[in-house]
Every structure is written in structure tokens, then in C-alpha cells.
Amino acid sequence: MQHGDARSRTGAAHAARLGDPADGAAVGAASRAGVALSTAARTPRLAFRSRRTLVACLAALAATARAAPSGARPPDAAVPLGSVLPDVAMDGLNGPARRLGSWRGRPLVVNVWASWCGPCRAETASLERLAWLPTQEPFAIIGISTDDHRERALRWLQASRATLSHFIDHDVQLETLLGARQIPLTVLVDAQGRVVQRVYGARAWDSAESQALVRRAFAAPARR
């Protein structure tokens, strides 16, 4: 008896697939009814999820609009010329940690480099020489390493006997703020903390030409 029922069910399904006008219609109707019931059972839950998602998205957009004033700098964009660098914390490499804003009141030369970058290493050496010139320049000089591995940056600083203060970037935060789309990069920051000039590519910063460039940048009003 059980085998007969199984054959009957199998035959009905087979008839439905082949287009039998009697058994196929019955099985098709049952299938459609089952699908309709299943869809009806799921629809309220899916609609609720959609409404909840929509409300959450609208709330997030509203919060973002309130938090970001008109004309605000996107978090992944460089600080424009003439704008003030944020007072971010910096992780020290060959010295203690320090905040970027702690140099306010004095012009600042920020050099962005990496230990694997040959032009960067040559440029950093020229900045060391600039810092040790007999004439006392009215600005500070610091370095920012973009190395992924702290120990490699520190090893190179030790080998080069660096005396300037160097810091290491994390999550490309400083690279982004300073606009380091390529390195080496030197950023000139005035005493108010505003970016006044970006210089891409290696230079001999202890040369007379480069010293004159720095003096002109710090003497001129910040460009916007």
C-alpha cells in the first residue's frame, strides 16, 4: 500500500511536469497555493526589516548632516593651503609622543619620508644639516615616517644618527592630513598652524636656494 501511494505521488508529479491536463492541474494548483502561503508568511517580516533599515539609514544621514558643517573638510582629504592643521597626537620614534599643535607659535617644517625611499633618506640628511647651520633659523623641523613597520624606521634613524624629532604615522592619518600623495614631501606650516606650502620631491634643504624658499613661504601671508 505504501508503495502504491508513493507511485501515485510520483506519477502525479511526473504528469505535472509533462503537462497532463488532470493530475498536472491539481499538482500545479497545490504548488501555487503553497507558494502563496509561504510568500504571505514571509512578507510582513521582510517589510518590517525594510522599514527598519530605511529608518536607520535616514537617521544616520541626518546625524552626519548635523555633525559636518557646510564646507567642512572630508576626513579623507588633505588640509588645504591656508587652513590650520588639526592638533593630532603623534607617536614618537626617536623621542616622546607629542601633539602637532604643540609647535604653534613657531613655524614648522614637516618632512614626510620612509626608510625604503632613497630620495627620502638623502633629503632627510639635508634637513639635519639645515638644522645644524650656524645661523639660528626661526623654525622647527620634524619628520613623519610612513613605514608600515616601526622597527625599520627606527633602525634607519639609528643608523643615520638622526637628531631631529621623528614620528610614525598610523592608519595613514598624517599622510592624509599633510597631502602625501607621494614622498618625499615637505610641508611648511606657519606659526598659526596653517599649511603655507607643499614641496613634493627631494631637495637639498641646506642649499641657499631652499633656505630662501623657506623664508619666503614663512614671510608671505598664507594662501587660501
The residues of the chain scoring below 70 in pLDDT are 1-76, 136, 221-224
User: What's the CA gap between 174 and 93, in Å, rounded?
Assistant: 14
User: Count of alpha carbons within 13 Å of 73, Cβ hemisphere only?
Assistant: 16
User: What's the CA gap between 112 and 201, in Å, rounded?
Assistant: 10
Please check whether residue 204 is in contact with residue 125, taking contact to mean a CB–CB distance below 8 angstroms.
no
User: What's the CA gap between 22 and 14, in Å, rounded?
Assistant: 12
User: What's the CA gap between 219 and 199, in Å, rounded?
Assistant: 17
Query: What pTM does this model have?
Result: 0.66
Which pLDDT score, from 0 to 100, does residue 12 have? 43
C-beta atoms surrounding 198 within 10 Å? 18
Cell of 1: 500500500
Which pLDDT score, from 0 to 100, does residue 52 have? 44
Which pLDDT score, from 0 to 100, does residue 135 have? 77
Which pLDDT score, from 0 to 100, does residue 18 have? 36
Which pLDDT score, from 0 to 100, does residue 217 have? 93
Strand partners, 18: none
Please check whether residue 83 is in contact with residue 195, taking contact to mean a CB–CB distance below 8 angstroms.
yes
Which pLDDT score, from 0 to 100, does residue 3 have? 42
Strand partners, 195: 189
Please check whether residue 181 is in contact with residue 189, taking contact to mean a CB–CB distance below 8 angstroms.
no
Helices (H), the chain: 2-18, 23-67, 118-131, 150-160, 173-178, 208-219
Please check whether residue 128 is in contact with residue 159, taking contact to mean a CB–CB distance below 8 angstroms.
no
Which pLDDT score, from 0 to 100, does residue 197 have? 96
Domains and CATH numbers, the chain: 2-67 (no CATH), 89-219 (3.40.30.10)
Which pLDDT score, from 0 to 100, does residue 106 have? 94
